[in-house]
Amino acid sequence: MKQQSGFTLIELIIVIVILGILAAVALPKFSALQNDARVAKLNAARGSVQAATAITHSTVLVRAGVADAAACPGGGGTANNLVGLAGTVCTEAGIINLVFGYPASSAFGTAGIISAAGMSSIFAPTLAQLNTEGYGAIIAAPVTTFSVIGGTGTIGATGAQTNATCSFTYTQAAAAGASPGVSAPTTAGC
C-alpha cells in the first residue's frame, strides 16, 4: 500500500495564524514608512528652496546689476541682474524673476522660486505639472506654500492638489537688504 503524505489541518492553521500575525505587525510599519518618505521629500524640497535662494542671490551679487549682453540659454531674453524691487537673473534653464535680489513668489507659469528650486522638470510649471512630481503649492504673493501631496491632509482634485498640513512656506524678501524667510516644516498631515 502507498502511504499518503502532506500537511495536517492543524499545521495549516498554525501557518495561517503566523502569517496573520506577521501581516498585522508589518502593516503599521509600512504605513509609517510612507509617512516618513513624505516627510523626507518635504525636507528635501525645503533644502532645495533654501539652496536656490542662496545661489540665485549670490549670482545676482556677482553680476552686480550689469545686464547680460547675450540672451539667456533657457530663453526669455536677457537678464538685468538688478538687486532692486524687480530684477531678473539668467540660469541654465531660463530667466528667474527676483524681488530684492532673491527669487520672487511668482504665479504658476512664471519663473520664480518654484523654478529656481527645480521643483518640477518643467521650468515654469502649472499646479497640475507640479502635482505630477508629487508636490503642491499655494501662491499668495509674497508667500508661496510648498507641500507634498499624498498624506492625510491632501485636498483637491487630481492636478489641483495641495496639503497644508505637510508643508512649509517661502516668504519673498520684503525690502532691500532683507532676506526671504523659509518656515519650519509642518508634518502633521504627511
Question: What confidence tier does 7 reach under pLDDT thresholds 50, 70, 90?
Answer: confident
Which grid coordinates belong to 17?
Answer: 495564524
Q: Is residue 41 part of a domain?
A: no
How many domains, in total, are found in the chain? 1
Q: Is residue 153 part of a domain?
A: yes
Q: Is residue 104 part of a domain?
A: yes
Q: Assign residue 61 a region: left if phi > 0, alpha if psi is -120 to 50, beta otherwise?
A: alpha
Does the pLDDT value for residue 1 go beyond 80? no
The pTM assigned to this predicted structure is 0.82
Q: Is residue 167 part of a domain?
A: yes
Q: Is residue 32 part of a domain?
A: no
Does the pLDDT value for residue 170 go beyond 70? yes
pLDDT tens readout for residues 38-63? 999 999 999 999 999 999 999 999 98
Backbone angles phi, psi at 139, to 5 degrees: -110, 115
What confidence score (pLDDT) does residue 64 get?
A: 80
Query: Domain span at residue 132?
Result: 48-182
Q: Is residue 26 part of a domain?
A: no
For residues 178 and 166, give the distance between their C-alpha atoms in angstroms, rounded to a whole number: 27
Q: 103 and 116 in contact (C-beta within 8 Å)?
A: yes
The contacts of residue 27 (CB under 8 Å, 6+ apart) are none
Q: Is residue 37 part of a domain?
A: no
Q: Is residue 25 part of a domain?
A: no
What confidence score (pLDDT) does residue 184 get?
A: 97
The enclosing H or E element of 17 equals: helix 9-63
Question: What confidence tier does 2 reach under pLDDT thresholds 50, 70, 90?
Answer: low
